[in-house]
Structure formats: C-alpha cells, structure tokens
Amino acid sequence: MKIMKTCFKLVAASFFLLVTTTGNAQVLISLLFGDALNSDKVEFGLVGGWNRSYLLDISESNGMTNFNLGFYFHINLKDNSYLSTGVLVKSSVGASGMSTYPLGNEDLDDLYQNGTLTKKINYFHVPILYHHRFHNRWYLEGGIQLGLRNKAYDIFDQQVLDGDLQYKLDVGDQYKRLDAGLLGGAGYKFKKEIKSISAGVNYYYGLMNVSELPDTKIKNSSIYLYVKIPIGAGKKKESN
C-alpha cells in the first residue's frame, strides 16, 4: 500500500511538471508532496545538461546542440538496484545544415533559396530506466524513453552583409504527438552517499517514425550529457 501511494504521488508530480513552468512546478511539488519526494526509498532532484541530437534517415543533416532541464526520481527496488524516471520539461531534438525548400512566397523563396534549414522539435521526455550502482559510485542504466511532442519548427537561416536573417515556420502538424525509443548509458556519483550529485551520458535511439508526411521517414536520436542534483536530501538527513 505504501509503495502504491508513493507511485501515485510520483505520477501526480510528473503530471504537474507537464502543465506548469519549471520554476512554479518546483514550488508546487514541494508544497503538495513535501518530504515524500525524498524518503528512504525515493530520491528527487533536478537534472539538466546538453544533448546533441540527430534526425535519422535524413542523410544530409548535421547534429544540433540543445539545452535540457527537468526533474528525476530514483526509486530503490533492492540493494543497489533502482527505477530511474522523471520528466525533461525543456527538451528538444532535431538537426541542422539541411537545404531549404520553397515556402510558396516569392519574396521568401528568393531570400532563403541558398540558406540552411534547421528542424527543431520540442518534447516532454519521460525516461523509464533500470539503474544499477557499483560501490555507490559508478552506475549503468537502460530502458525506454517516451516523448510527448509540444511544438516543432522549421527554421530558415540566411547570412547577409548586415548579419543573419531567420524565418521560423510552425510545422507541428507534420509530426506525430508521441515518440518512443531505447535509452541507456552510464554515470558517476561524486560522493558515496546514497543521494549525491552525479553526472553521466546517455544515448537515445528512436524506434518510431515521427513524421506525419507521406513517404517521409524520420526517427530521433540523441546523446545526452547531464548532471543530477538532489533536492531536499540534506534537510531530510538532518531531520532524521
């Protein structure tokens, strides 16, 4: 019963993360769930970093660097085994360096015909990973990652004498709402304490064709570099 209540609170917290801004969500979660987010079995904190994303099946594209930020939960299953999950509230994938295409506007087509195209897709990402620690320092993790698309843009860039020109086109209807794939990697904890700052690298390989366009196949992939910082763990320890 206790585990069920904890899971319900974590699911509810994830829901609030999806529908509020990152700053307000942190305050809201703290008020609603309090110490339950950092208990003997649960670690809660912030995760942030950078990812280098690619669009598979588009050979002419280059990687794109993005910033990501969110929240994580480590739920102890047994000994050194954990369920690692959470929500990346700010998370983008896509690629750059592609050729532009006609926009149906003569002035814009003339302006950007020799420019470059960047495809950027914003997601709420939810990893669900098995996380195993070795001597509470190094760890390996692997599982799946689900994505809920928020917005998507095609960004046209052209260099001119006075600087750079940019045109952003909303193309959300060209992509499916959901994405799913495999996620795995390794990390290192800076202290041997159960709840401490850690850093790691993960690789995501999309299994779904996210394109809604006919005869078009696009799969996401991304390399994540991140840092995880526990929130409230020190206060919980002092209270105990």
User: Residue 15: inside a domain, yes or no?
Assistant: no
User: Residue 52: inside a domain, yes or no?
Assistant: yes
Kindly provide the b/e burial profile for residues 91-107, where b requires at least 16 CB atoms within 10 angstroms of the residue's own CB: bbbbbbebebeebeeee
User: Residue 14: inside a domain, yes or no?
Assistant: no
User: Residue 7: inside a domain, yes or no?
Assistant: no
**Model confidence over 29-70: pLDDT tens digits?**
543 554 556 677 889 889 999 999 999 988 889 999 999 999
Q: Which of 126, 144, 208 is nearest to 175 (CA)?
A: 208
User: Residue 26: inside a domain, yes or no?
Assistant: no
Q: Which of 7-16, 85-94, 182-191, 228-237 has the lowest mean pLDDT?
A: 7-16
Q: What pLDDT sits at residue 59?
A: 81
Range 222-234 average pLDDT: 86
Residue-averaged pLDDT of the chain? 85
CATH value at residue 170: 2.40.160.20
User: Residue 29: inside a domain, yes or no?
Assistant: no
Contacts of 61 (CB under 8 A, 6+ apart): 54, 55, 95, 96, 97, 98, 119
**Model confidence over 148-160: pLDDT tens digits?**
999 999 999 998 7
User: Per the structure, how many domains does the chain have?
Assistant: 1
Q: Give the domain range for residue 117.
A: 40-239
User: Residue 11: inside a domain, yes or no?
Assistant: no
User: Residue 118: inside a domain, yes or no?
Assistant: yes
